[in-house]
């Protein structure tokens, strides 16, 4: 086995691990919210992002199941790059609104930013904000890895839209 083959094998293994971690976590967090939709609805409401109740309900009703859906695609290895990018597109704005809310709580209660602990509606219960940010950054790195690195190990259909050049 030459160096290039070894590198490809390691890359495939790393991609599989990244898929399992990211997918498993999203299934877990999504189910936690989907099984308690009212609790999640109340938490989403705390962000005061929507004046319209339909939009609030839409987000609270669809987001948890959408997370489960993306998590399943990642674990099964279907549309891996698209799913990872979709997860990244959710994580980035979530992280921003969570930081904004934590800043609001820190200011209102005269707390150090990293001392702020609250249930951000992320599906893991109450958490210290700095830990949440670190977690989200790590998950975003995993998403980035899955978008850019190809590894078809144990993937049912890595690319949903096949590349015409390879056919």
User: Contact positions toward other proteins, by CB under 8 A?
Assistant: 34-38, 41-43, 45-46, 48, 53-54, 57-58, 60-66, 68-70, 73, 79, 81-83, 85-86, 89, 104-105, 108-109, 111, 115-119, 126, 147, 159-161, 163
| Contact of 122 with 26, CB cutoff 8 Å | no
- Residue 2's alpha-carbon distances to 10, 16, 93, in angstroms, are 13, 21, 42
For residues 142 and 144, give the distance between their C-alpha atoms in angstroms, rounded to a whole number. 5
Q: Which is nearer to other proteins, 147 or 154 (CB)?
A: 147
Q: Smallest distance, Å, CB 12 to other proteins?
A: 19
Which ranges of the chain does DSSP label H, i.e. alpha helix? 3-34, 37-46, 53-76, 80-109, 129-148
Q: Smallest distance, Å, CB 108 to other proteins?
A: 5
Across-strand partners of 91? Answer: none
Q: Smallest distance, Å, CB 157 to other proteins?
A: 11
Q: Which is nearer to other proteins, 10 or 58 (CB)?
A: 58
Q: Smallest distance, Å, CB 6 to other proteins?
A: 27
């Amino acid at each position: 086995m030459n160096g290039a083959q070894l590198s490809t094998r390691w890359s495939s293994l790393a991609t599989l691990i990244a898929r399992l971690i990211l997918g498993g976590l999203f299934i877990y967090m999504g189910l936690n919210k989907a099984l308690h939709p009212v609790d999640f609805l109340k938490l989403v409401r705390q962000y005061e992002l929507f004046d319209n109740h339909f939009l609030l309900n839409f987000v609270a009703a669809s987001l948890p199941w959408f997370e489960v859906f993306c998590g399943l695609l990642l674990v099964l290895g279907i549309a891996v790059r698209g799913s990872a990018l979709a997860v990244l597109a959710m994580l980035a704005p979530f992280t921003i609104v969570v930081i904004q809310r934590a800043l609001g709580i820190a200011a209102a209660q005269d707390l150090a930013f990293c001392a702020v602990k609250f249930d951000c509606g992320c599906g893991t219960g109450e958490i210290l904000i700095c830990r949440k940010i670190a977690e989200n950054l790590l998950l975003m790195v995993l998403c980035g890895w899955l978008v850019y690195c190809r590894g078809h190990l144990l993937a049912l259909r890595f690319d949903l839209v096949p590349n015409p050049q390879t056919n």
